[in-house]
Amino acid sequence: MYDVKKSDAKAQVQSLHNMSDGQKLRAWGYVCDNHAIDQCFMPGFFSSLRSNFQAGDTIRLSREIKGNCVASCNAVVIQVTDKDVDVRMESEHITYWSDRDDFKEEKIKIKEEPPPAYIKGEGRIKWNIGKEMFDIIVDNQVVAEVRDRDTAERIVRGDMPMPLLKIRGLADDDIENPSFRETDIGPTIKNEKKLEAASPR
CB of 161 closer than 8 Å to CB of 118: yes
pLDDT tens per residue, range 76-131: 999 999 999 999 998 778 999 988 777 777 777 777 777 777 777 678 888 988 88
Residue 70 CA to residue 37 CA, distance in Å, equals 10
State the pTM of this model: 0.45
Among 41, 8, 6, 9, which residue's Cα sits nearest to residue 22? 8
How remote is the C-alpha of 146 from its chain's centroid? 38
Please indicate whether residue 75 or residue 140 has the higher confidence score (pLDDT): 75
Task: Rounding to the nearest 10 degrees, give the CA dihedral for residues 19, 23, 24, 26.
Answer: 10
Look at residue 47 in the predicted model and tell me its pLDDT: 92
Sequence-distant (6+) residues with CB within 8 A of 170 are: 176
pLDDT tens per residue, range 146-186: 888 888 888 888 888 877 665 444 444 444 454 444 444 44
**pLDDT bucket at 21, cuts 50 / 70 / 90:** low
The domain spans of the chain are 4-98, 124-168+177-198
